[in-house]
Amino acid sequence: MNLIAFSLLLSVTAYSTAGGVDFGAGIWDLLAGTSARGREARALIDHAMAPVWEVNNVWLAFAIVLCWTGFPIFFQSTFLSLYPLFSLALIGLILRGAFFAFRHVADDPRSHRIADLVFGASSLLTPFFFAASLGAIASGRVGIAGPSQSVLAASFSPMSISFGLVSLAATAFSGASFLVGDARRYGAAELVGYFRRRAVAAALVLIVIGSMALLTIALQAAPLFRSMLAGPGLPFVLVTMILTPVVAVLHWRGIFRWYRVLTVAAVGSMVMAWGFAQSPYLLPGQLTIEQASAPPATQALLLIVAAALLLVIVPAMALLYYLDQRSALDVPEA
Partner 1 sequence: MTSTVWLAGESALLPSRIQMAFTLASHVLLVPLGVALPTLTLLMEGIGIARNDPVALKIARRWSVVMAVQFAVGAVTGTILSFEFGILWPRMMGRFGAAIGLGFAIEGLAFFLEAIFIGIYLYGWERLPRRTHFLLGLVLPPAGLLGAFGVLSANSFMNTPGGVTLQAGRLVDVDVVAALFTRALGYEFWHFLIAIYMTAGFAVASVYAVAWLRGRRDHYQKLAFLVPFTVAAALTPVQLVVGDLSARALVGDQPAKFAAIELTWRTREQNPEVIGGLIDDAGDVRFGIAVPVLDSILVGYSPNAVVRGLTDFAANARPSTVEANIAHLAFDAMVGLGLAGAALAAWYFWVLLRRRRLPDSVWFYRLAALAGAGCYLAVEAGWVTTEVGRQPWIVYGLMRVSDAVTSAPASFVWTMLATLVAVYALIAYFFVTLLLRLAARWRREDEKSPTAPEEGAPYGPRPARFPELGS
Q: Is 312 in the site for partner 1 (CB under 8 A)?
A: yes
Contact status: 95 vs partner 1 (CB under 8 A): yes
CB of 236 to partner 1, least distance (A): 26
Give the residue from 290, 280, 300, 282 showing the smallest Cα distance to 75: 282
Among residues 1, 2, 76, 291, which is the contact residue for partner 1, using CB under 8 A? 76
Other Cβ atoms less than 10 A from the Cβ of 80: the count is: 16
What is the C-alpha separation between 122 and 92, in angstroms, rounded? 5
Q: Which of the stretches 35-43, 169-177, 194-202, 203-211 binds partner 1 when contact is defined by CB under 8 A?
A: 35-43
Listed ranges 90-98, 217-225, 226-234, 278-286: which one lies at the site for partner 1 (CB under 8 A): 90-98
Q: Which amino acid is at 96?
A: R
Question: Reduced to 3 states, what is the DSSP secondary structure of residue 225?
Answer: helix
What are φ and ψ of residue 201, in 5° steps?
-60, -45
Is 193 a binding residue for partner 1 by CB under 8 A? The answer is no
- Site residues (CB under 8 A) for partner 1, limited to 151-170: 151
Selected from 188, 202, 237, 250, the binder of partner 1 by CB under 8 A is 188
Output the smallest distance, CB 15 to partner 1, in A: 11
Site for partner 1 contains 79 (CB under 8 A): yes
40 counts as binding partner 1 under rule CB under 8 A:
yes
Q: How far apart are CA 28 and CA 295, in angstroms?
A: 45
Quick check: 39 binds partner 1 (CB under 8 A)? Answer: yes
| Cα–Cα distance for residue pair 45/48, rounded to 1 Å | 5
Q: Does 91 bind partner 1 (CB under 8 A)?
A: yes
Q: Is 302 in the site for partner 1 (CB under 8 A)?
A: yes
Residues 223-252 that bind partner 1 (CB under 8 A): none
φ/ψ of residue 50, rounded to 5 = -45, -50
Interface mask toward partner 1 for 103-142; x: CB under 8 A: -xx-------------------------------------
Q: Report H helices in the chain.
A: 3-14, 20-31, 36-49, 53-70, 72-103, 109-138, 151-155, 158-185, 189-220, 222-229, 234-253, 259-278, 289-292, 296-308, 314-330
Q: Of 18-26, 61-69, 173-181, 199-207, which segment contacts partner 1 by CB under 8 A? A: 61-69
